Structure 1
Amino acid sequence: MTLKSATVQTTPYEGQKPGTSGLRKKVKVFTQKNYTENFVQCILDANGSAISGSLLVVGGDGRYYCKEAVEIIARICAANGVAKLLVGQNGILSTPAVSSLIRHNKAYGGIILTASHNPGGPDNDFGIKFNCSNGGPAPDGVTDKIFQLSTAIKEYKIVEDLKIDISKIGTNCYEVDGKPFVVEVIDSVENYVNHMKEIFDFGKLHDFVSGKKTGTPLKARIDSMNGVTGSYVREIFLNCLGATPDSVVHTTPLEDFGGLHPDPNLTYAKDLVDTVAKGDYDIGAAFDGDGDRNMIIGRNAFFVTPSDSLAVIAHYLECIPYFRKNGIQGFARSMPTASAVDLVGQKLGKEVFEVPTGWKYFGNLMDAGRLCLCGEESFGTGSNHIREKDGVWAVLAWLSIMEHTGKSIEDILKNHWSIYGRNYFTRYDYEECELEPCNQMISTMEKTITDPAFKGREFSSLGKTYKVKVADNFGYTDPVDKSVASKQGLRVVFEDGSRIVMRLSGTGSSGATVRMYIDSYEKDNVLGKASEMLKPLINIALEISDLQKFTGRTAPTVIT
């Protein structure tokens, strides 16, 4: 089919600045005239002449407006000289699957359509982000350029007559302005499942999950929350590992996630938590909309914090064939994440890196061969098999540890604490607050804690006293390329290692989300209740930040 491109005049929209992982706005914002077209054109323009003749991967979490956006992207890519697109069937590809496809096909990059853990539907959220040739999110230099271009865009190129049926697997060939253009619609799960088979021992896991090893099938509840992981979960857990059919729930990707909020935490995955608490289950797990986040709970809904999950996986990496084959390099965590993995790194003699929030900061370290496992307290865990966090991978890692140790999730954690001590941790989220008062709060708190007189101050609550050792606005210099990220979150570190961290999230679609992180290390008192152990520090954090005054909130939206 022979087609011609056209140039369409347009005007800029304010606010097309990618956040921690792409541009996220309400669907009604993206569906404004030329809004999506502008942003996609700026993504391509930010990559310059390299986009001509390139291969890109396109897919998303199946939320509302995903299919329409895929078609727009294809038409604009065709007009801008892209040679080929790999598109997930029906526009479906998990974020980890896109990263894997980019790396396996040596693609120039990928465009991912997701608002991650944000709710979906016509009145909720949508998002677009660009991943680079290493499979990871675009670095600050690229996203800054995209934003700069978005403030001055005057035109975009498009092939209006290009029509693609993305419901059918197959190769579609066109001629655009005299050059070949190919759109290959691929099976959404095949490449990713094969990748997991290269990493884990599926034979051992099948015997463990199906009950062949123990005589009793594993009692699991794996909840995809009607997000993108449903297709992957059915293929891996049912078809490959022999789990019982009732082990997986909410596995049909829906445009509005069936009314669920696909954020795998104790608040939004309450159905999973309640079911496991009342039932007979060895493991419960949930994923977010695009499949990169995960939550793990054990029998009686025993909760594994993401910080502990990262540390436990680090301790047991050698039970996973991929790491026995490729070796164990360093570990890393985002700055707000509790430092449990640091203790494992020290014991194993591995480098441990503390980076800003955002998975893109792990990529350089992985590409340089200095990092093989990393995680964020926001329910993200992953390794150097791709350059994104990976929810399904994390559950397979936990199943491997359970199979290897023969222990329950709770016993694995208690054994870990007996070796390393425990980092008690919680995060308070105050969602959709007014932006300006939140900015004022952060500015005021920064002035307070960076005053030289603040160091050495003592704060007391509920009979506990903490003395300030360090307080700053976290900055990071990449040890590989020496790039600098400044003002990444306010930290107050006390002499006993306890910490308060405050920052504004970059993953919301409107307003501001204030995140307050509290963690405290205990060497011996490892079996306490986290909410009670951390209450004194929570009170002190609210005092230092004056959060209630600035936000008007008396309680957080979500506690994890």
Structure 2
Amino acid sequence: MIKFGTGGWRAIIGEGFTMDNVKLLSQAIADDMKAKNQTDKGIVIGYDRRFLSDKAAKWVAEVMAANGIAVHLINNIAPTPMIMFTVKKLGTKYGVAVTASHNPADYNGIKVFTEGGRDATEDVTRRLENRMENLHKEDIKSTPFEKGLKDGIIKLIDPFNDYIDTILSMIDTDAIRSRGLRILLDPMFGVSKSSLQTILLTARCHLDIINDRHDTLFGGRLPSPSAATLTRLKDIVTEKGYDLGIATDGDADRLGIIDDKGNFIHPNDIMVLLYYYLVKYKGWKGGVVRNIATTHMLDRIAKSFGEECYEVPVGFKHISSKMEETDAVIGGESSGGLTIRGHIKGKDGIFAGSLLVEMICSTGKKISEMLDTIHREFGNLYTVERDFKFAQEYKTELSDILFKQKRLPDFGYPVREVSYRDGVKVYFENDGWIVARFSGTEPLIRIFSEMPAEAEAKDVNVKMQQFLKLS
């Protein structure tokens, strides 16, 4: 059975991710579009570099064409944010990206977008799941891809220039041109190379690139930008004296940064830097949206500017909805995804990287200098994150402990509040917190903690691990 997580549907290739399942989901989308009379502008389909992504995009197109729905198929590998941008630009009611984002190489999946280029809400994905439960193999329509092309119901499109020009119009390229930064890009064998290369070279940066060949195994690494996966980028940045190292995940909606000193800049700090830059230096007005596992430093900054920080569950659809509701300046998450007001309603690592380059050039300050300024003004908070795999049968026991019995360890710090809005989050009186929640994309339980002292963050994290018997 196909079930959606926080980032779409993902499954192991050959087990859950099969042609039959891709076509089953496609038929459910087609039926939903027809039931709601949303077929007039068709559907946008794009894909990344994963194994079977290009073929799966054609499987989706074949089902849509057989159902009389016009297909706008991006004619080359495409970053997920470009696909979302195209849904928004063409005004289609639905869009599809064939990708498993930052998951391991043996996964693939499908992200579903709705009007405006936003992640499908839980109402939409639940409706699609219900439709799939009632579909039989004989209900699935399909037409040969070449016939769809010949009949004109499948059209190949290239939104690259529109997407790039939009980003260039939103950043201060003049400020970047004056600095001549030396940047090293690591697309992590994914799809960001052409886009970031074009943007940064247009802004007259000096750019070199690593890990850009087509490798469906992602060089044997997880295609997720983290301190553990960006060691080569870090080594070359420090050895060759680059001003900045930029990395994006497999489908380019998440960002990783190595500064000029070789430090990995945590996504929490990227969010903090960009929000501070937009309100302090560019004079933007508005709040910030973060999920439950993202730093409360954003709360401190927002408060100092008379603004609000809004907390939402994990899943970017919650962030984009709250941004729209509150007209927030920026929204993002501790896993490296963010967007700003006026751009697409989903995370975009390409745009975020470009904006960070603008920040460095416009302020004349290195990332470390900006962070020092922020910490002098707002203090420090330290984050510890741990992921744990578990046997599937143990998930029921963990769920029972946390969400039915609602048992928690004695953390040794006064507790202000406990929330079960998404997993369990404990808020401490000292401005710290800890979250335990099951991943929506992988068989993991994740524990995040943030405290005013690093030792405290480690302490509460370990106490939760020991209480849940995780190792």
Shorter chain as denominator, the TM-score bin is over 0.9
Aligned counterparts, 1:515-554, within 5 A: 515-521=446-452, 530=454, 532=455, 534-543=457-466, 545-548=467-470, 553=471
Deviation at 1:173, TM superposition (A): 5.5
Aligned equivalents of 1:21, 1:458: Cα separation in 2:
33
Aligned equivalents of 2:132, 2:205: Cα separation in 1:
48
Long gaps (5+) in structure 2: none
The correspondence for 1:501, drawn from 412, 423, 435, is 435
Paired residues in the alignment total 468
Change (3 A) 1:546 1:303: same
Deviation at 1:428, TM superposition (A): 0.7
Residue aligning to 2:184? 221
Structure 2 length-normalised TM: 0.93
Residue aligning to 2:30? 44
Change (3 A) 1:394 1:127: same
The correspondence for 2:234, drawn from 273, 276, 284, is 273
Residue aligning to 2:193? 230
The correspondence for 1:360, drawn from 317, 339, 356, is 317
Residue aligning to 2:209? 248
Aligned equivalents of 2:452, 2:269: Cα separation in 1:
12
Does structure 1 residue 201 correspond to structure 2 residue 172? yes
> Could you tell which deviates more after superposition, 53-62 or 110-119?
53-62
Residue aligning to 1:147? 129
Aligned equivalents of 2:288, 2:139: Cα separation in 1:
42
Residue aligning to 1:297? 258
Aligned equivalents of 2:414, 2:269: Cα separation in 1:
26
- SS of the counterpart of 2:197? helix
Asked if 2 retains the 8 angstrom alpha-carbon contact of 1:55 and 1:82, the reply is yes
- SS of the counterpart of 1:255? coil
The correspondence for 1:97, drawn from 66, 72, 82, is 82
Change (3 A) 1:129 1:301: same
**Residue identity matched to 2:411:** F
Residue aligning to 2:378? 420
Aligned equivalents of 2:17, 2:277: Cα separation in 1:
47
**Residue identity matched to 2:108:** F
**Residue identity matched to 1:146:** L
- SS of the counterpart of 2:139? strand
- Write out per-residue CA displacement over residues 25-44 of structure 1, whole angstroms, 9 at most, x where no aligned residue: 01113564622111111122
Deviation at 1:188, TM superposition (A): 5.4
Aligned counterparts, 1:164-175, within 5 A: 172=149, 174=151
Residue aligning to 2:47? 60
Deviation at 1:193, TM superposition (A): 0.6
Deviation at 1:157, TM superposition (A): 4.0
Deviation at 1:130, TM superposition (A): 1.0
**Residue identity matched to 1:204:** A
Asked if 1 retains the 8 angstrom alpha-carbon contact of 2:11 and 2:17, the reply is no
Deviation at 1:241, TM superposition (A): 2.3
- Write out per-residue CA displacement over residues 44-81 of structure 1, whole angstroms, 9 at most, x where no aligned residue: 22332424333211102221111111111111111112
Deviation at 1:393, TM superposition (A): 1.3
Deviation at 1:359, TM superposition (A): 0.5
Residue aligning to 2:352? 394
Q: Which has the higher strand share?
A: 1
- Write out per-residue CA displacement over residues 399-456 of structure 1, whole angstroms, 9 at most, x where no aligned residue: 111112211111111111111112211211124x3222133123213356x46xx7xx
- SS of the counterpart of 1:317? helix
- Write out per-residue CA displacement over residues 65-105 of structure 1, whole angstroms, 9 at most, x where no aligned residue: 1111111111111111213x222223x12111111111122
Residue aligning to 2:21? 35
Aligned equivalents of 1:62, 1:224: Cα separation in 2:
11
Aligned equivalents of 1:94, 1:403: Cα separation in 2:
25
**Residue identity matched to 2:449:** I
Aligned equivalents of 1:75, 1:184: Cα separation in 2:
12
- SS of the counterpart of 1:442? helix
Does structure 1 residue 117 correspond to structure 2 residue 74? no
Does structure 1 residue 429 correspond to structure 2 residue 429? no
Does structure 1 residue 74 correspond to structure 2 residue 61? yes
Aligned equivalents of 1:368, 1:471: Cα separation in 2:
25
Aligned equivalents of 1:282, 1:158: Cα separation in 2:
53
Deviation at 1:234, TM superposition (A): 2.1
Deviation at 1:267, TM superposition (A): 1.6
Does structure 1 residue 288 correspond to structure 2 residue 249? yes
**Residue identity matched to 2:6:** T
Structure 1 length-normalised TM: 0.78
Asked if 1 retains the 8 angstrom alpha-carbon contact of 2:259 and 2:367, the reply is yes
Aligned equivalents of 1:308, 1:31: Cα separation in 2:
35
Aligned equivalents of 1:34, 1:424: Cα separation in 2:
46
Residue aligning to 2:403? 446
Deviation at 1:17, TM superposition (A): 0.8
Q: Give the RMSD, CA atoms, in angstroms.
A: 2.3
Long gaps (5+) in structure 1: 1-13, 166-171, 175-180, 212-217, 461-465, 476-487, 523-529, 554-560
- SS of the counterpart of 1:367? helix
- Percent sequence identity over aligned pairs: 26
User: Which structure is larger by alpha-carbon Rg, 1 or 2?
Assistant: 1
Aligned equivalents of 1:32, 1:298: Cα separation in 2:
41
- Write out per-residue CA displacement over residues 500-519 of structure 1, whole angstroms, 9 at most, x where no aligned residue: 110010112xxx11111010
Deviation at 1:494, TM superposition (A): 1.6
Aligned equivalents of 1:49, 1:173: Cα separation in 2:
28
Change (3 A) 1:235 1:159: same
**Residue identity matched to 2:92:** A
Aligned equivalents of 2:279, 2:163: Cα separation in 1:
22
Aligned equivalents of 1:302, 1:33: Cα separation in 2:
43
Aligned equivalents of 1:507, 1:501: Cα separation in 2:
17
**Residue identity matched to 1:27:** I
Does structure 1 residue 191 correspond to structure 2 residue 149? no
**Residue identity matched to 1:137:** D
> Could you tell which deviates more after superposition, 309-318 or 111-120?
309-318
Change (3 A) 1:330 1:156: farther
- Write out per-residue CA displacement over residues 304-345 of structure 1, whole angstroms, 9 at most, x where no aligned residue: 22222112211111588xx76xx5332100011121111111
Aligned equivalents of 1:222, 1:164: Cα separation in 2:
40
Residue aligning to 2:289? 332
